[in-house]
Amino acid sequence: MAKKALGYGRVSTVKQVVDGVSLEAQRMEITSFAIASGYDLLDVLCDDGISGSKNEDDRPGLAELLTAVRAGQVSVVIVCKRDRLARDQALAGHIETVIRRAGAELICIDEAGLSPITKAVLTMVAEVERLLAAQRTRFAMRALKAKGKTFGTVPFGYRRNADGGLDPQPGEIESVHEIVAMRHRGTKLADIASYLTTSNVQTRRGGRWSAEQVRSICERAKTHGLPKLAATAA
């Protein structure tokens, strides 16, 4: 019977996400390792945005992990790196002692002596997981599009409604109509942008208008049409 295992991941700062130790990356690495090693991975418990200096009382994910370990529900704990348990060596040592005294084994993937075959399997599983995640995202986006729903950034002049579609945004859609009308009259993109800025028409971020922003609005109107507010619709 395969040994039951729990994984643990933690991030405390945005920089860690940028540096490649995001929770999703840790989950994928732990899952790949468990599959390649033949463990029955029950879950990957995580603490998001919590410092490694905190003990289990301040880390819900770690507390749940150690509760399961003490209850004998798992015999293996998997982390990507020892510093995911704790940045402080003394605290990391204490957590590891708790795990081992409960009869479980702590595995730090970056310290594990992996055979070439195991490394190859890890790479293969990680690639499959990445492709599956990308495919799920594409399916979800297609499903939203089929239902007339939108995703991503809401364009200037619109707001997202309860059904996931776009409705005209009062205070902005009027400017969209003016922009398109000026463009139809042959006004240059840069001149329209300058006019909007000097007229104190606010961009979404409150900055100056650019020719590219104006172009984007005109292209959207050409592709998707130009709705009006119900009160002003013809």
DSSP letter at 40 equals E
Let me know: does 111 contact 82? Beta carbons within 8 Å.
Answer: yes
Structural domains in the chain? 4-128 (3.40.50.1390), 158-224 (no CATH)
β-partners of residue 7 are 44, 78
Which tens digits make up the pLDDT trace of 100-152?
A: 999 999 999 887 776 677 666 666 766 676 677 667 666 666 665 666 555 55
Output the average pLDDT for the chain.
82
Query: For position 86, what pLDDT does the model report?
Result: 85
Provide the percentage of residues in the chain whose pLDDT is more than 90: 34
Rounded Cα–Cα distance for residues 160 and 166 (Å): 5
The answer, yes or no, to whether residue 5 has pLDDT greater than 90, is yes
Whole-model pTM: value is: 0.50
